[in-house]
Amino acid sequence: MIRVEGLAKKYRLGSWVGDQNLREVVVDSIKSVFGRGGKESVDSTLWALRDVSFEIGRGEVVGIIGRNGAGKSTLLKVLSRITDPSEGRAELFGRVGSLLEVGTGFHPELTGRENIFLNGAILGMSKGEIDRKFDEIVAFSEIERFLDTPVKRYSSGMYVRLAFAVAAHLEPEILLVDEVLAVGDAAFQRKCLGKMKDVAGHGRTVLFVSHNMGAVRALCERGIVFSGGQLHFDGPANDAVDEYLAQMEEASAQSLTHREDRGGEGNARFTSIEIRGTDGTPVSTLNTGQPMQLVFSYEGELAAPGCSFIVNDERGARLSLLSSEYSHSTDTVDPSMGRQLVCDIEALPLMPGEYNLDVQLLNRGVAEDIVDAATRFQVVGGESEGRLFKHESKWGAVTMRHRWSRPN
């Protein structure tokens, strides 16, 4: 269904010096008069993809994984014909439905109803075909109340609900899904994963980009790992996840200031993450049930700083999200504290094992810096709710507060 041969995508850093319109020519001319800009200032390029080749058969569900900046999203944009490759070729044998970024493929001034028909037309479907699927799409998206509202007034979650419903139900032979599903709530994410399994079960092909290794293991039978714009590994999904986790373990050992595999707007960035134990001193090993403090240091000016992080276990499964955006405490986001954000956990609920954190630095809810596997720590035996944990547990990753009683 998909054949990729020698695919490459090059971006030029700085001013564009290729085909230019009149405005760009005038701007370059003005810059050259003042001794800056022009062709002389452009001497570097970025290869987002380089020499990528693979084939994907009918009905395969393939996970595309890799660190930030590895080329995953660029690949899907090329396959979706959003951008042209610089070298090589990609052939897709069938109708393509894609869900890449919130808002991609939707016209903001049109209503949800109108965008369903617009997307169907883009996919090459007749009005009759769309009519037959219309009620199913609306029911899946759960936004019937807002169907005749312009989508520019939708929240990001509503956008994703409708966009995924359209992409999955209009019967594309190939479905491309980026991590945009992370915007939806947990119940909707489960429904989307179930729908993708159903799509694959009908012989259609799914490419799924995700940082959620648990979802990749559950959904995909094959995984492709990208690193630095090149195909690094192609094989069974479990092996691909293990390869990716090995990369992330290596990356987490680096100083945050030297990490280049990061996303976000870039106006500020993390400089260090310090994990502190019961007595407030830095530690790398913690005890189940004991207090834990995380101190996030950053550089850059933020009007309303915030932080969120995801706790992952050693197999890449996401266990919990903690965010200052959802906290009722204002102490953690007080600008007077300087360029540090502090998160206190009263009693660490993690069972013995190895864990890492994916972190985001926020400014008014916008992600300024995103680093996966930014730091690692180990949890060893401890006591929680009177229960003693001495060894690494095979019974799960989380212990919950609970109490037993015997009825009278």
pLDDT digits (tens, 9 = 90+) for 246-297: 988 888 888 888 888 888 888 999 999 999 987 888 888 888 888 999 999 9
- Mean pLDDT is lowest, of 8-17, 69-78, 133-142, 388-397, for 388-397
Q: What predicted TM-score, i.e. pTM, was given to this entire model?
A: 0.73
Superfamily of domain 2-14+45-249, CATH level 4:
P-loop containing nucleotide triphosphate hydrolases (3.40.50.300)
H-type helices in 60-211, by residue range? 72-79, 112-122, 127-141, 156-169, 186-201
Name the β-bridge partners of 152. none
- At 63 the pLDDT is 93
The H-or-E segment that residue 217 falls in is helix 213-219
The H-or-E segment that residue 287 falls in is strand 285-287
- At 390 the pLDDT is 55
Residues 6+ apart with CB under 8 A from 5: 53, 88, 89, 90
Q: Where are the domain boundaries for CATH 3.40.50.300 in the chain?
A: 2-14+45-249
The H-or-E segment that residue 31 falls in is helix 22-33
Decide: 258 and 370 in contact? Cβ < 8 Å: no
Residues 81-91: tens digit of each pLDDT:
888 999 999 99
- At 170 the pLDDT is 74
Residues 6+ apart with CB under 8 A from 189: 181, 182, 215
- Looking at domain 256-389, its CATH class is mainly beta
Here the tokens at position 405 are: 């009683």
Q: What is the bridge-based pairing of β-strands 366-380 and 262-263?
A: antiparallel
How confident is residue 39, by pLDDT bands cut at 50, 70 and 90? very low
Task: Determine the Cα–Cα distance for residues 289 and 385; give it in Å rounded to an integer.
Answer: 8
Q: Where are the domain boundaries for CATH 2.70.50.60 in the chain?
A: 256-389
